[in-house]
Amino acid sequence: MSHLALSFMCLWLRRIRWLGAATVALGLNGVVGAQPATQPPAPVVVAPAEERLLAPVTFFPGTVISRDDARLAAEVEGRLEWVADIGTSVKRGQSVARLDDVLMRQALAENEAVVVREQARVTLYTQEVERLQPLVERKIVTPSNLDQAISNRRVAESELAVARARVMQANERLDRTNLRAPFDGVVTERFVQAGEWAGSGTAIVRLVDSQSLEVQIRVPAETLAFIKKGSELKLMASPQESTGKVRTIVPVGDDRSRLYELRLTLKGQRWPAGQSVRVQVPTAAPRKVVVVPRDALVLRRDGTSVFRIVDDDIAERVTVTTGIAAGAFIEVSNGISAGDQVVTRGGERLRPGQKVVVLPTSSQP
CATH number at residue 94: 2.40.50.100
Domain match, 110 and 198 both: no
* pLDDT tens figures, 57-114: 889 999 999 999 999 999 999 999 999 999 999 999 999 999 999 999 999 999 999 9
The H or E element containing residue 301 is none
Domain match, 139 and 230 both: no
What does the DSSP assignment read for 60-84?
EEEEEEES-EEEEE-SS-EEEEEEP
Closest CA to 308 of 358, 244, 239, 262: 358
Q: Answer whether residue 156 is part of any domain.
A: yes
Q: Answer whether residue 25 is part of any domain.
A: no
Cα distances (Å, whole numbers) of residue 145 to 123, 135, 142, 207: 17, 10, 6, 63
Q: Which residues contact 304 (CB under 8 A, 6 or more apart)?
A: 297, 298, 319, 320, 321, 322
**Vertex 328: Cα angle to 243 and 309 (nearest 5):** 160
Domain match, 85 and 188 both: yes
* pLDDT tens figures, 139-164: 888 888 989 999 999 999 999 999 99
Domain match, 256 and 272 both: yes
Closest CA to 198 of 68, 96, 109, 93: 96
Domain match, 90 and 114 both: no
How far apart CA 243 and CA 260 sit, in angstroms, is 20
Predicted local confidence at residue 140, as pLDDT: 85
Of residues 16 and 290, more confidently modeled = 290
- Look up the domain containing 188 and give its range: 69-100+178-208
Q: Answer whether residue 24 is part of any domain.
A: no
Domain boundary pick from 282, 299, 314: 282
Q: Say how many domains are in the chain.
A: 4
Q: Answer whether residue 16 is part of any domain.
A: no
Distance of CA 61 to the CA centre of its chain: 9
pTM value is 0.66
Q: Which residues pair with 217 in a beta bridge?
A: 62, 262
Residue 24 has pLDDT above 50, yes or no: no
CATH number of domain containing 344: 2.40.420.20
